[in-house]
Structure 1
Amino acid sequence: MDPGNPTDNLFTTPEPPPARRPICEKCSRPNPVCLCQTLPSQPIATKTQIVIVHHPHEAHHKLSTVPVLSKCLLNSTTVITRRLRRGLSSLLDQSPPAIYLFPPTPSSPALTLSELPSSLDPLRSTTPVLIVFDGTWKHAKEMVSASEGFLSKFATRVCLDYDGSVSGGSIYDSELILRKEPCGGCVSTMEAVARVLRVLEPNGMDIERKLIEVLREMVSLQAQYLKPIKPRPKLSKKGKAKEKDMAAKGDDSEPLGL
């Protein structure tokens, strides 16, 4: 090979791609955040059948609790779709008495979790079915809206207690939150399922305790790899107007209040 010939560079052996992080075979998580010591030795058996409707964009998100939840619960199935309809789940195609979790709207009221025990008679006569939607809150809202025509035939809407006037927590101020929640009381899919199973299952308190233990460990491990975001101080309306005016004039000095 002639070192002075630039065409020889075309035949240079390419560098190998970076090695993937080692993944635990049991919990399918990267080794540094492995949950095997916290996961139940055997998936927890429940009378309730849990159907998780998983948004396609969420299926590979590293902070999704669905893969962990599926390893904790024996009777859970995941359906990846944007809209529930016939043909996606043989269980739901039978139109079983079911509940699905999502906050209410003026056109779609919901029972609160505290009201649920008095409404369980149809569920007690058969295998209870719990349907949860997993995605960003924007995606979940779209999924529920698109699925309500199908769900209205057999499912009742249920919500956890929440406060829309209060900002939701984040991983930096809660040991159970992986991502910023939109308002107070909004929780991850895993925590929501744990809260509902506490009501539906005879040993619900034990199931809830175990699921929350796994979630708490997941959040604790993940928090070690997230850098806190320093919030930007809020500007008054007067300060914002001054900042815009300075930017328009090309003033590079630091605005007051920053």
Structure 2
Amino acid sequence: MTGRMRLAARVLGLAGLALVWELASRSLGAYWVPGIGQVAGRIAQDWQAGRLLAAVASTSALLAAGTVLGALAGAGLAVLLRLSARADAMAQPFITALMSIPKLGLVPLLVLWFGTGWLPKVLLVALTVLFVVFSLTYAGLSAVDGRLLMAARVFGATPAQLTRHIVVPSVLPFIFTGLQVALPWAVSAALVGEYLAAKTGIGHGIEQARQLGDAIGVYQGIVLATALVLAASGLLRALRRLAPDIHP
């Protein structure tokens, strides 16, 4: 599919979504499904008042910090376990058990341990990202082409050169895939953290609107969260295109 066809498909998809949204609003009423115009008007109003930029910036900073921390920890853990078969055998059962725990269920513990500041929310996002990136990075390290490594060693490549020119480019697609998969969950984790303990952010705005019975405010938050996921996903794709690649 060409770039123009892909763009046309996306525009048609958005137009179809807008049509369904507007029909639902007219059928069910504004209390259940506010119209697109009402939500857009609220977004414009909050933008002019400066509230929108502050909320998006707060959630974006939380998402970025947690994602970077989780990605570094997940990739680092995968590398450590691949370097030591004994550590791998010992750690895998515990990692599997930890992966089975719903990350949002850890919110009470994180608040109990670290209070209601920024740290527990960052850790919640990081934990959500960590295990996804770990799994994909671990799989990527296992899939590194041994023939390439052997051929490079024959030509005198050092371990540092093998890592830089073969291992890292081979694993990067897996890491970026892990980040893409984890991204919607990371945004959800950031919003939940803001629901429970925050004075600003998209999640805080949604929770305030819920308490006031403000359906337009809730839908505004949903639209902003969706836009944040799409923007972050686009940024990851752009970074992926800049990453090195290898051709066996």
Q: Which has the larger radius of gyration?
A: 1
**TM norm. shorter chain > 0.5:** no
* Higher share in strand: 1
Return the TM-score normalized by structure 1.
0.28
Higher RCO (Cα < 8 Å, 6 or more apart) = 2
